[in-house]
A = this chain, B = another copy of it.
Amino acid sequence: QIAQLDLDRLDRRGYPEAVFCEGKTADQVGRIATALADQRQVSLFTRVREEHVQAIHAVLPDAAYDATARIVAWPPTPPEPTGGPVLVLAAGTSDLPVAQEALLTARYLGRHAELVVDVGVAGLHRILAQVPRLRAASAIVVAAGMDGALPSVVAGLVAAPVVAVPTSVGYGAAFEGLAALLTMLNACAPGVAVVNIDNGYGAGHLAAQIAAP
């Protein structure tokens, strides 16, 4: 036996378990997909590689796959949205995969969610142009690498919590996301909830909880 799925989680917490595929073999993921096929729960497979997708599709042929987010979801259509709107921001184009993972996670967990890309602070007019939309959101996810400065700016402009997800975008003293992580933990504006580097899944999940009905 290679896994004990936490199928009780949906009852206990209101959100289903997700399968973190990075350290698993295709065979293991396939067996987990088989176990999930019997359940009527939303099933998310995160950080999939090509071989994982194939193993899942062998069991759940209609599962939806997003190559940018590296997410497989089943059933393929997200549930009808409830709760408040979630807004996902990507500071730069390179932060897109993480932002997309957050976006899809929020949607599959039942929220209305939208994405805005490339609104980093180096060209401040871009984020300032979004202020009305920012203020309409119940939770805002901000994915940013390099200096990770965008969440500080956004949190200073809105009442809703900002879920900040540092990305490993950058090089040198970005230290694979550490620089952005520290920036966000030290945001001079309160209201910033930090999750792990590149953890788009966790960011989307947390935003879904915050914006829950």
Q: Which of A23, A188, A193, A202 has the most CB of B within 10 A?
A: A188
With a CB–CB cut-off of 8 A, which chain B residues contact A171? 22, 47, 196-199
State the interface size on chain A (CB cutoff 8 A): 91
A193–B141 CA distance with the chains assembled, in angstroms: 12
Candidates B157, B174, B179; contact of A13 at CB < 8 Å: B157
CB distance from A9 to the nearest CB of B (A): 6
Asked if A161 is at the interface (CB within 8 A of a chain B CB), the reply is: yes
Q: Give complex CA distance A153, B124 in Å.
A: 7
Q: A22-B94, A186-B180, A196-B185 are contacts. A209–B159 as well, Cβ < 8 Å? A: yes
The interface bits of chain A over 111-134 (1 if a CB of B lies within 8 angstroms of the residue's CB, else 0) are 000000111111111100000000
Can you identify 11 A-B contacts, CB atoms within 8 angstroms?
A9-B122, A13-B191, A23-B169, A24-B94, A124-B157, A146-B188, A147-B152, A171-B199, A172-B176, A172-B181, A191-B205
Contacts from A to B (Cβ < 8 Å) = 1-6, 8-9, 12-15, 17-18, 20, 22-24, 28, 32, 47, 91-94, 96, 117-126, 145-149, 152-153, 155-161, 163, 166, 168-199, 201-202, 205-206, 209-210, 212
